[in-house]
Amino acid sequence: MKNILVKSLGTLLIAGALTSCGDEFLKTDMSNGIDSTTALNSVANIGNALNGTYYRFFQYYFAGNYATVIGDLSSDIVYWNQETSHENDIYQFTFQDTSIVLGGIWEYGYKVVDHSSRVIDAAGKIRESLSDEEKEELDVYTAEAYALRAYSNFVMVNIFGHQVKVNGQDYSSQPGIVIVDTPVPAFKEIERSSVGDCYAAIQKDLNEAIRLFEANGDRGSLFYFNLAAAYGLSARVNLYLENFEKAEEMADMAIAQSGIETLTYTPTGYKALYNYGASNTESMFALAITATDNWSANSCGTLFTTYDYSASPWLLSKYGEQDVRNSIMDFVPNNNPVAPEFLGGKFGCYAMGNSAYATNYLINAPEMFLIKAEANLRGSNVDLDKAKSALLVVAKRNLAITSVDDLPATKDDLLSFLRDESARELFQEGHRLFDIRRWGVKSNAYAYKAPDIAFTFADADFSNVVFPIPADEINAGFGVEQTPEWENGLPQ
C-alpha cells in the first residue's frame, strides 16, 4: 500500500461490458484503466466505473472478508483451533500497525471512497446535459455511489476510530478517519477528521442516497445498493449514535421497503437461507460472490472451514435445543472437539457444496428487528411491549419461545437477553466487537481450550479498543497521524 489517500489513482477500473442496469454485474475481466479526467463523460462510462467501485468493495481485503469478519474474530463468538494461521493476530489481539488485515481494509476502503467520489463528482458535471431518462439512470448510479461511500466510511471509522458513543458517553471528539468528499489531488496534505465529523459525513451521504433512491427507484437487486439497504444502514448508523427514535424509524422503513415482515422458523428453511447467492430471502444487500467470481482461499467460507475458525463453545452454549439456527452449526464428521473443524455456518453454501462460493449478506432484516427492540429499551421513551414485540420476531427462531410471555419481563433482563440474542442471530455478520464496545459491557475474547468455555481475555473492557492506522499511511508523510496510545485500549 502506498499512501492511498494522497497519491492520485489517475485511472479508474472500468468493467468493459457493463453499460446498463440489465447487464450482468461484476465482471472481473477489467479493461485497462483509462484517464479519470476524461473517462467519465457519459452515463454508460459512469455506470462502468461504478461497477469497478463495486469490485473494489467486493475484494477480500474489504467487504469480501477482512472488513466484514474483523468484528467477530475479535470477540466472544468465534473460536480458532490454531491449526493454521490466518487473521489470528486479530483474534489474539496481537496485531500491529503493519497488520495485513488492517492494511487491506484501509487501502481498499479508500479505493471505494475515492472511486465513489469520482463517480459522484463526474455525475454532477454531466447531469444537466442529459435527457430525463438518462438523468434517472444517472441518479440511481449516484445514489449507489453515495451509499457505498457511506458504508465504507462507517466501517473504517469504527475500525480505526473510537466508538462514537459508549452507553451514553460521547467520544465524537476523538480522532476518526480522513473524510474524502471529492477526489484527493496527488500529494495533498491531509488530516484525520473527528469521529463526530465522520459520522456527520456518513449521514449526509446516506441522506443523499435515500433522496435519490426515493425519487428514482433502485435496480431491484440484492447485489446492488438499494433503498431498503440504505434505510437499513441508516438505522445502524443512528443506533451507534444513540439516536434511538431515528434508528427505529429507519429500521421500520427498511423492513417496509424490503417487504420482509417475518423471518424463517424451521431448521430446513433457515439453512436454505445460506444455500447460495440470492437464497437469503431475509437479506437486503449482499456481495455478488459466485462460483466463478470469488476469493477461493481468501474467502470467508474458507476462513470458517479450512482455516479453522468456528462458532465458539460459549456461543454454541447459548442456542437452545429447539433453536433452528443449530441447523448451520455443523462440524466435520468425526470432529475432534479439541480442535473443531467447522462446515462454514452462514458461509456453508449448502446448495453448491463449496464454502468458497458463499456470499456475504451485509444488511439483513433480522438486524432491523433487533435495532427496533434496542431502540425501545434504550431510548428516551422506553416501551417494553414494543421492544418485546420486535425482539420476538428474531427470538422465536428458538421454537421454545412462542410469545412475548416467554421473554424476560424487566428492562434490564430484556437488555441482557437482547445482547445474547444479537450474538446468536448476527454470528458471522461482523457486528459483535462493535456492539460490545458501544454497550460498554464487560465481555470476553480469544477463546481457547475447546470444548470447554475459556477465554484469554475474560470479563474485559473493550470500550476503548481502537485499531491502529496502517504504518504505510503514517510513514507516507502526508499528514495522517497515528492514534495516540492505541495499544492502551486493548483488553487485558
Residue ranges per structural domain of the chain: 11-265+363-489
Mind listing the pLDDT tens digit for each residue in 62-71?
999 999 999 9
User: Which amino acid would we find at residue 397?
Assistant: R
**CA dihedral angle for residue 321, residue 323, residue 327, residue 329, rounded to 10 degrees:** -70
Q: Using the predicted structure, report yes or no on whether residue 4 has a pLDDT greater than 80.
A: no
pLDDT value of residue 186: 67
Grade residue 31 by pLDDT with cuts at 50, 70 and 90.
very low
Of 3 and 187, which is predicted with more confidence? 187
Q: What is the pLDDT of residue 296?
A: 96
Determine the CATH number of domain 11-265+363-489: 1.25.40.390
Residue-level pLDDT at 27: 33
pLDDT tens column, 357-398? 999 999 999 999 999 999 999 999 999 999 999 999 999 999
Distance of CA 201 to the CA centre of its chain: 18
Are 192 and 178 in contact by the 8 Å Cβ rule? The answer is yes
**Assessment of whether the complete model's pTM goes beyond 0.85:** yes
pLDDT band at 36 (very low <50, low <70, confident <90, very high): low
Q: Which residues of 208-236 are buried (b: 16+ CB within 10 A; e: fewer)?
A: bbbebbeebebbeebbbbbbbbbbbbbbb
Q: Assess whether pLDDT exceeds 70 at residue 332.
A: yes
Q: What is the pLDDT of residues 428-464, one digit of tens each?
A: 999 999 999 999 999 999 999 999 999 999 999 999 9
Residue 268 has pLDDT above 60, yes or no: yes
Residue 2 has pLDDT above 70, yes or no: no
Residues in Cβ contact with 484 at an 8 Å cutoff, skipping those fewer than 6 apart: none
User: Per this entry, what is the length of the chain?
Assistant: 492
Confidence bin at 183 (pLDDT 50/70/90): confident
Reported as a pLDDT band with limits 50, 70 and 90, residue 38 is low
Q: Show the cell assigned to 167.
A: 452507553
pLDDT bucket at 182, cuts 50 / 70 / 90? confident
Predicted local distance difference test score (pLDDT) of residue 1:
35
Q: What pLDDT digit, counting tens, does each position of 81-98 carry? A: 999 999 999 999 999 999
What's the mean pLDDT in 215-238? Answer: 98
186 C-beta neighbours (distance < 10 Å), count: 10
